[in-house]
Amino acid sequence: MVDFPVRQLVSAQQPAQRRTPFARELDMHPIVATLAANLATGLPGHRSLNAYVLFEVPAAGGVPDLIRVAFDPAVVRRRVELGLTPVVDHTAMRVLTAVSAGPRPLGVVAMQAAISTAHLRRTVVPALVDAGWLAPLNARGDQTDVCPTFRHRSVVRSVVTVEVKRRDWRGAIRQARRHTSCADRAYIAIDAATPGQLLQVAAPLSQAGIGVITVDADSSTASVVTCPAAGFPRPDEYRLIGERAWSLVLAGTDTWATFEVFGRDLTAR
């Protein structure tokens, strides 16, 4: 047996290859986008030609970096025929969701929309009447019915969200949890060079409804580590992000630059 000097053994070892980290999260977005169709595998419309990858579309809770939506062509076609444009206001969507099965008393609709009956009667209903969604109220009092002229249906068949981070995986988890209320599946995408401890908690995260993706700068590829368990989104939030996605497609762009809230334009990111 030949004894080699320790120095010789060390020098003979191949140094561990270190991954190149991303300089910006924005550089990760197009790589994750190439994986979007795979993220929707098994969902309605996952092979649809009416699917889009969009960026920074505001949800009811937070702004996912990327979403993949598959539109329902029959619903979209009918909406176009009726001249019913996208509904991008959350309160309006809550009202339309509340009456999507048929007329409901004003007081019940107000409660489901989390607004006062006075605000519903004076502001929200008239706006939706003008937009062609509701019939005018025909009586006073909280028991008068709010009647849809067209029962709202979701314009999307499936929604997948992705929150992209270089290092802040804890922040990504917090944000992705908010996205589960508007999506069939919610993912976190992390820089493969700086995953921190995220990969150690990937399995329990997937059971909680959040999947994990790693993004490699050297190979410009993204890989799914875990797929999330089936989600149970809120109907109003699911419909809302679908409407906002549709409005973006109609505008001929894939990125939502600003978001209007109470008359102010807020930068999405």
Q: How confident is the model at residue 141 (pLDDT cuts 50, 70, 90)?
A: confident
- % the chain with pLDDT above 70: 89
Q: 3: Cβ–Cβ under 8 A, 6 or more apart, which residues?
A: none
- In this prediction, residues 212-222 reach a mean pLDDT of 96
Q: How confident is the model at residue 266 (pLDDT cuts 50, 70, 90)?
A: very low
- Whether the per-residue pLDDT at 1 is higher than 80: the answer is no
Q: 225: Cβ–Cβ under 8 A, 6 or more apart, which residues?
A: 199, 202, 211, 212, 213, 214
Tell me the pTM.
0.87
- Whether the per-residue pLDDT at 212 is higher than 80: the answer is yes
Q: Give residue 2's pLDDT.
A: 43
For residue range 149-197, what is the model confidence (pLDDT) as tens digits? 999 999 999 999 999 999 999 999 999 999 999 999 999 999 999 888 9
Q: How confident is the model at residue 7 (pLDDT cuts 50, 70, 90)?
A: very low
Buried b vs exposed e over 49-80: b needs ≥16 C-beta within 10 Å? eebbbbbbbbbbebbbbbbbbbbbeebbeebe
CB distance 222 to 213 below 8 Å: yes
Phi and psi angles of residue 214, each rounded to the nearest 5 degrees, phi first? -110, 145
Structure tokens at 120: 């519903």
What is the total residue count of the chain? 269
What are the residue boundaries of the structural domains of the chain, listed by start?
25-75+156-236, 90-146
CATH label, 90-146, candidates 1.10.3720, 1.20.58, 1.10.10, 3.40.50: 1.10.10
Using CA atoms, how far apart are residues 226 and 239, in angstroms rounded to an integer? 26
- In this prediction, residues 213-218 reach a mean pLDDT of 96
- DSSP tally for the chain: helices H, then strands E: 11, 10
Mean pLDDT score across all residues of the chain: 90
For residue range 37-53, what is the model confidence (pLDDT) as tens digits? 999 999 999 989 999 99
- % the chain with pLDDT above 90: 82
Q: Give residue 11's pLDDT.
A: 41
Q: Give residue 196's pLDDT.
A: 83
Q: How confident is the model at residue 263 (pLDDT cuts 50, 70, 90)?
A: very low
- Percent helix, strand, coil in the chain, to 5, is 35, 20, 45
11 exposure class (CB count in 10 Å sphere: 0-12, 13-18, 19+): exposed
Using CA atoms, how far apart are residues 211 and 42, in angstroms rounded to an integer? 15
For residue range 222-239, what is the model confidence (pLDDT) as tens digits? 999 999 998 899 999 999
For residue range 69-102, what is the model confidence (pLDDT) as tens digits? 999 999 999 999 999 999 999 999 999 999 999 9
- Whether the per-residue pLDDT at 3 is higher than 70: the answer is no
For residue range 242-260, what is the model confidence (pLDDT) as tens digits? 999 999 999 999 999 865 5
- In this prediction, residues 204-219 reach a mean pLDDT of 95
CB distance 54 to 67 below 8 Å: yes
- In this prediction, residues 106-118 reach a mean pLDDT of 97
Fold of 25-75+156-236: Trna Endonuclease; Chain: A, domain 1 (3.40.1350)
